[in-house]
Amino acid sequence: MAQVLRAAGVGRMLSGEVPVTLVRDASLAIDAGEFVAVTGPSGSGKSSLLYLLGLLDRPTTGSVWLEGVDTSAFDEDALADARLRRLGFVFQSHFLLPEFTAIENVMLPMRRLGRLADDGIETRAMALLDRLGLDAQRDKLPSQMSGGQSQRVAVARALANDPAIVLADEPTGNLDTAASANVQGILRGLAHEHGRAVVVVTHDRDFAASADRRIVVVDGRIQDAGEAG
């Protein structure tokens, strides 16, 4: 499989009176179609690593390569464009815009990209909601949906611009068992059936165990980047 994401010696330090190191010398590579879980104790730097891989944050050392391109020279606009076109995010809280319906939330990234006409955007958003079993929720506001439904809308939104990589930060952390299993299945399917690279930060051992590979982060360092057990 083609390598879509690579980190080489990536570190992130917060400057201040007492400098804090969030991530130290992290190197890893992720292929298309790979489902990777990032685990580790709370505060170990898992989310910080995810933000660096997702080009939301800039490393203080090392660099991140997206589909073979070194992003260290990218300015803020270029990083934003890369996120818009090639990356999709799912967070622990769904972070849907509360004033917009489910379908409008899914349409947002597509409207920002402007690659499709309005009709095409609506059709694709509807197709994504259908695929995630949300066709009945299309015109509902986030406040009118359950946590699981909202999180699935967030997944649909992450997939809106057909990203190569989906990054999820504790996507099942706020869900009940059934909803969690549902979202896990969707994310796994994205990697295995749709060929996307999926990187999930999770505390859920079973979820991590079901990944193709498990990366363990302790004190900001990658301790183990081996195969999932």
Partner 1 sequence: MSGLGLAIAVRHLLARRRQSVVSLLGIVLGVGFFLSISALMQGSEDDFIARLIDNSPHITIQDKYRSPHRQPAEDAYAGGAVQVLRVKPETETRGIRGYQRVLAYLRSLPGVTASPVLDGQALVSFAGQDKAIALSGMIPAEIDRVSTIGKYMTAGRILDLAANPDGIVIGDQLAKDLSLQMGENLTVSATTGQTRTFKIVGLFHTGRANVDDGQAFVALKRVQALLGRANRVNSIIVKLSDPGAAQTLAARIEARIGYKSVSWQEASEDIMSLLLIRKVLMYAVVSAVLVVAAFGIYNVISTVVLEKQRDIAILKSMGFHARDILRLFLAQGAMLGAAGCAAGLPFGAALMVAITRISFRMPGSRDLTYMPVSWNWVQFAMAASFAMAAALLAAVIPARKAAQVDPVDVLRGGT
* Helix (H) and strand (E) counts in the chain: 7, 10
In terms of DSSP bridges, do strands 221-224 and 20-31 run parallel, antiparallel, or are they unpaired?
unpaired
In the bound complex, what is the minimum distance in angstroms from residue 57's beta carbon to partner 1? 5
Q: Which of residues 37-66 bind partner 1 (CB under 8 A)?
A: 47, 51, 54, 56-57
- Dist CA 124 CA 129 (whole Å): 9
CB of 76 to partner 1, least distance (A): 6
Work out how close the CB of 37 gets to partner 1 at its nearest, in angstroms, rounded to a whole number. Answer: 19
CB of 108 to partner 1, least distance (A): 7
Tokens representing 99? 């004033």
Is the distance from CB of 62 to CB of 52 less than 8 angstroms? no
12 exposed, middle or buried (CB, 10 Å; 0-12, 13-18, 19+)? buried
CB of 227 to partner 1, least distance (A): 29
Tell me if 99 contacts partner 1 by CB under 8 A.
Answer: yes
Would you say 112 or 205 has its CB closer to partner 1? Answer: 112
- Site residues for partner 1, 172-211, by CB under 8 A, read 173-174
Between residue 131 and residue 160, which ones bind partner 1 under the rule CB under 8 A?
157
**Total residues belonging to the chain:** 229
Cα angle, residue 202 at apex, residues 199 and 207 outer, rounded to 5°: 90
From the list 201, 210, 127, 111, the residue with the least C-alpha distance to 161 is 111
CB nearer to partner 1: pick between 76 and 119:
76
H or E element: which one contains 158?
Answer: helix 147-158
Tokens for 104, please give them. Answer: 């409008």
Instruction: Give the nearest distance from C-beta 49 to partner 1 in angstroms.
Output: 12
List binders of partner 1 among 66-95 (CB under 8 A).
Answer: 76-77, 80-85, 89, 91-93, 95
What are 139's two structure tokens?
């015109």
- Give the count of residues interacting with partner 1 (CB under 8 A): 33
Segment near partner 1 (CB under 8 A), from 33-41, 105-113, 201-209, 217-225? 105-113
Q: Which residues lie near partner 1 (CB under 8 A)?
A: 47, 51, 54, 56-57, 76-77, 80-85, 89, 91-93, 95, 97-100, 108-109, 111-113, 157, 161, 169-170, 173-174
